[in-house]
Every structure is written in C-alpha cells, then in structure tokens.
Structure 1
Amino acid sequence: MSDVMTSGEPTTKKAKRPGGRERNPEALHPGRKKTMAAMLLPSIILLIALNAYPLFYAVGQSVRDGGITGPGEFVGLENYRTALQDPAFWEAARFTLLFTVVSVFVAWVIGMGFALVLRRAFPGKSVFKVLLLLPWVVPVVVSTTSWNFMVATPSSPIPTLLRALGFGDVQILANAGTAMAIVIIFKIWGTFPFMMMMMNSALQAVDPSVEEASRLDGASRWQRVRHVILPIISKPIYIAWVLASIFTINDFPSVFLLTGGGPVNSTSTLVVFAYRLVFQDFRTGYGVAVAFLITAVLIAISIYFFRRINRAPMAN
C-alpha cells in the first residue's frame, strides 16, 4: 500500500517461478509458440506460392522466345539484349522518363501550393478541398473518356476553341508534340491531388513556432517555405516522389486509353510497349523481358529515394 501511495500509480509484480526466477506473463510457452507457428505455416506457404510461382514463371518466359503458340525455345538473355538494342525500346524509355519527371515534379509543385493554401482558414475550405480531390477520385476510364471527348477530333471543344481563336485546324492527338503534352497534362491533373494530400499531412508536423521565429528574423514567405518548411518535411516529400514515380511508370490506362501510345508510338511508355509486345505482337518472351527491365528501374529509383529518406532530417 505504501508503494502505491508514494508513487501514485499501482505497481504490478511479475509472477515468480519456483526457485525465485521472475516470469513474464506476456511470454509464450515454447509449446504454444510451436502450435501458433504450425497454424500459420499453411498461410505462409500459400502466400509464398501465390507470389513466387508467377514470378518464377515470368522469369522462365523472359529467357525463351515464346509466343501465343507456346513457351518457345530457351534463348538465355537474348530477349534482354534485343531490348537494349531496340530503338523502339529506347524511344519508349525516353518518353517514360519525360512523362515521369515532368508529371511528378509539376504535380508536386501544384499539390504543395494547394497544401500551403489549405493551411489557412477561409470560407468554403471543405468544399474547395473536395473539388480538388475529384481528379484523383474519378475513375481513370471516366477521366480519359472525358478528355478524349474534349480533344480527340477537330469538332471537339478544345480544337473548336483554338480554331475560333485563329490557330487553324488543330488536331491535338494526331500531332506527336501536342499528344505528348496532353498525356503529361492529363497525368499532372490526376496526380496533384495525391501530392496535395501527402503534403497537407506532412505540413501538420511543422511547428508554428519555428515559422514564427523565422518570420520575426525577417524571412520572407518564400524564404520560410524554402529554408524552413521544405527541410522539415523532406522525408514525406521523398516518399511522395517515390510513390508517384512508381505509379506513373506503371500507369498503363492513362496512356493507352487516351492516345493508345500514338501517334507513331510518340506517347508509348515502357508499360504500353511491353503490353503491345505480349498481347498484340505475341512476342511473350521479349515483352516479359521488357517488364523485368521496368522492374529493375523501379527498384533503382526506390533505392535512391530511400537513401535520401534515411539521410533527411527528422521533423521536430
């Protein structure tokens, strides 16, 4: 009783085994551990099989020259060598790089700007936030259909508006440059809400007193954002970048449904390129090899950003 009264909190004592040794009540009996492991083993084996079998099967496909009629003969690394020497592969890789870098960075800038705006209270803030989330919430099939309606034909609203403004007969998706721009703009439009939510959550960790101290020291709003806020939330920024990069590189429906990779493969990403090889050209081995090269790129990007995340300072 005296221990309870002096400390102000009830004390818990561990049970003692015969011989005076203390026993942790949370520790599992060795026999119980074996029983739980035996019960979990079938589920673990099933999960490994579900993930390992497709992986090893795909690896086997990538080292054969198979197609629609069968797995084909073993060719070793020939499919990977063919990919690295194929101009079409590098054309798709260049557009994938442009598509990813521009859309991720611009979407982050826009999302960061809206996140900073949403830190302030203003009338209709909740409605405004919901409206900003719509591009991310609406299914991609609906979004691409809407954008196709706006730009696909000369009679679509945007070409009609451009013609009325004196730009002539503009066929947006028939020109390589404008088609690439439309695909990138569409991806930015669908990605910035994700960036906004990530940055809005990250900004909650910024101590207002730190910003106030920098303001009293004479720092401008841009200087506070650049030298105070961004370093504090650098870890969430890197996480948002790596996630958005993975989503963008793997984004098949946005490109395929909007332009089909055209015109003349100008908007074909590596994912669309691999899809065409497997399901249109029936070059299964080559297509799977391209998919593994995409995976290698994603792993490299993830490793780079996770190293930056580990080196980034912790938010106070």
Structure 2
Amino acid sequence: MTQRSLKEGLDRAQRGVAVAGPGRPGRPRERRQAGPSGRTLLAFATPAIVLLLLINLYPLIYAALQSVRSGTLIDTGDFVGLTNYGNVLSDPRFWDSAVFTVVFVLVGVFGSWAIGLGLALLLRSHIPGGVLFKVLLLLPWVVPVVVSATAWNWLVATPQSPIPVIASAIGLGNVNFLADPTLAQITVCVFKVWISFPFMMMMMSAALASVDKNVYEAAKMDGASRWRELTQITLPLISKTTYVSWVLMTIFCVNDFPTIYLLTGGGPVDATSTLVVLAYRTVFQEFDTGTGVSIAFLMTAVLIVVSVVLYRRIRKVNVA
C-alpha cells in the first residue's frame, strides 16, 4: 500500500467510513433513524418535573417566607424583613458554630479522603484476602449511625469506659473525652472520619480502576519513584473523581446532624455545635423558627459557593 493510499485510509477511518480497496469507494455509514422529538420527551418528563417541584420547591418557598417572619412552629408571626438574618450574623453563637463547622468539614473531608485513598492504593496491590478486607472496611459506613454512635459512647463517654480506663492506666490521668470541650471536638471529628472513610475508599478505588497500568510501567522504566508516581501520575489522573468526592463529602459534613447530636448533643457548652445543630436547637428547642431557618439559608448559600468553586475546578481538569 502506498503512502497516499494509507493516508486516505486513515482519513476515511477518522470520518467513520470503511477503508475500501483500490479503485472501490468505501461504503458510507447507514444513517440513523431520528429518535423521539424534544416535545415527546418533554411530555414524558413533565409529570416527574411537576412532582419534583411540588416536593422540593414548595417547602423551599415556605421556608424562605418563614425566614423573614418572627414566627414559631405554631404561628407564622409578623413580617420582619431581614431582621432575622441580622440577628443571626450578630450572634456570637453563630460564629462559634461556624468556626467549628469549618473545622469539622475540613477534618471530615480531607481526613476521610487521605485514609480512603491510602486504603484504596493498598487494596489495589492485591493483598491476600483483599475482598474480605474491603468488606470489613465498609462496615463503619454500612452500620447505622445510631449503632456507631452508641458504640463510641460506650468507648469514651464515662470515666469507666474502656478508652478512659486505658488512658488512666498509661499515666494520662482522668481523661473525659466528652466532658472536655477540646477533647469532645477531637472525638467528634475522629468519629466523622471513622464513618466517612469507606465512602472515600470506594470513590478512590473506582477512580484508580480506570487508570491504565501501562502508565505506571512506563514510569518505572523511566526510573520514577513511588512518590513521583503518586504525585505526578495517580493524583492528576484521579483528580476529577477527587473533586467530586470533596463536593459530596463537604455537603455531607455541613448537613451532618445525627453524627454530632447522637454523640455529644452539641455539648459540652456548645463546643461541638455545628450550624445544623444550632439551627435545630433554635427551631425545635427555642421555638424561634425565623432565626433557625435563617441559619439554614446562610448554610445553603455557603454550600452553593463552595460547590461552584469545586465544580469549576472539575471543569478545568483536562487529563490527556
């Protein structure tokens, strides 16, 4: 085959036309039949769209109206405009909860991601009993959070619990994990990482499974170290999945009410109170619906900003 005919064959292949022999034109692809029209698809989707709007849009509008009123769970109250938002932003409890929420999210997202990535890399190396090992690692995520919180309370809640007894035996004194504000914050953050790393492990395992092993073989031939393989090959190739997992875990952490409430109830002295816990207390314990819903809307606004920033990072990722 001459160079010219080879070039023509490649051009035909790129256009989706079969390569023909000498003097015979290639057979063009058969034209696909037109699918359903846009109006037909819209007609089928309309009932689902209407149902979603009724389920999601109506409560959102009703909550927005509550946030500008001085009402309770029983009475909608009078219209007060943006007064509730001003009261929230001037409340020291809000800023204390916001600071701990940021800490809780950062530890929850990056702590669970680091452990999940490490375990995903370990399971990728085909260790003996890897399938059973993976199933056992999924238990913190599969087990209901009520069961996990009860188990952790049994481990650390009282001076007679196993971990405080061990801490006292090794000379650390009487350690009250849930009574000391700083230790309670550390315990809550560690508990969040504990129940979240299996999700990150599954996300990273799926991303690593899509990476071509030939890339690593070529890197080894070039003398790349394990650290360079991780930082210059693995992390860039799984960056899209990483950003998606960060977005999801950020949303999970900000909206995580049961993890904290079941373990500490937001205490001691509001040390572990995140914004979602503060909103719950304001609405259902202090019966101040307008202020509580205002806190929830401020949370939503921050989540939208964070999600948009990470989503733009996802769109900029271009792996060759």
TM-score by length of structure 2 reads: 0.88
Which of 40, 49, 53 is residue 44 of structure 1 equivalent to? Answer: 49
TM-score by length of structure 1 reads: 0.89
Equivalent residue for 2:201? 196
Q: Does residue 299 in structure 1 map to residue 308 in structure 2?
A: no
1:26 maps to a residue whose letter is G
Aligned length in residues: 299
- How do 1:115-154 and structure 2 match up within 5 A? 115-154=120-159
- How do 1:225-304 and structure 2 match up within 5 A? 225-304=230-309
- Aligned-residue identity in percent: 53
After superposition, the C-alpha distances for 1:71-122 in whole angstroms (9 at most, x for unaligned) are 1111101111111111000000000000000121111111101111111112
Alignment partners' CA distance in 2, 1:206 and 1:41: 39
More deviation, 228-237/204-213:
204-213
1:12 Cα shift? Answer: 5.3
Alignment partners' CA distance in 2, 1:239 and 1:25: 34
Equivalent residue for 1:3? none
Equivalent pair of 1:231/1:313 in contact (CA under 8 Å): no
Alignment partners' CA distance in 2, 1:307 and 1:213: 31
Alignment partners' CA distance in 1, 2:172 and 2:53: 58
- How do 1:58-97 and structure 2 match up within 5 A? 58-97=63-102
Q: Residues 13, 272 of structure 1: CA spacing in aligned structure 2 closer, same or farther, 3 A cutoff? A: closer
1:27 Cα shift? Answer: 4.8
1:46 Cα shift? Answer: 3.0
Equivalent residue for 1:160? 165
**Structure 2: which 5+ runs fail to align?**
1-23
After superposition, the C-alpha distances for 1:245-287 in whole angstroms (9 at most, x for unaligned) are 1101100000000000000000000000000000000000000
1:165 Cα shift? Answer: 1.2
1:166 Cα shift? Answer: 1.6
2:106 maps to a residue whose letter is V
1:63 Cα shift? Answer: 0.2
Equivalent pair of 1:110/1:192 in contact (CA under 8 Å): yes
Alignment partners' CA distance in 2, 1:166 and 1:58: 52
Q: Residues 124, 59 of structure 1: CA spacing in aligned structure 2 closer, same or farther, 3 A cutoff? A: same
- How do 1:12-31 and structure 2 match up within 5 A? 24=33, 26-28=35-37
Q: Does residue 217 in structure 1 map to residue 226 in structure 2?
A: no
Alignment partners' CA distance in 2, 1:209 and 1:38: 47
Equivalent pair of 1:61/1:285 in contact (CA under 8 Å): yes
Alignment partners' CA distance in 2, 1:39 and 1:10: 34
1:252 maps to a residue whose letter is F
After superposition, the C-alpha distances for 1:39-74 in whole angstroms (9 at most, x for unaligned) are 654443332122211111000000001113401111
Equivalent residue for 1:174? 179
Deviation >2 Å, runs of 4+? 6-14, 24-28, 36-47
Equivalent residue for 1:114? 119
Alignment partners' CA distance in 2, 1:266 and 1:109: 26
Which of 86, 103, 106 is residue 98 of structure 1 equivalent to? Answer: 103
Equivalent pair of 1:234/1:313 in contact (CA under 8 Å): no
After superposition, the C-alpha distances for 1:6-38 in whole angstroms (9 at most, x for unaligned) are 999997578xxxxxxxxx45355x9xx56x755
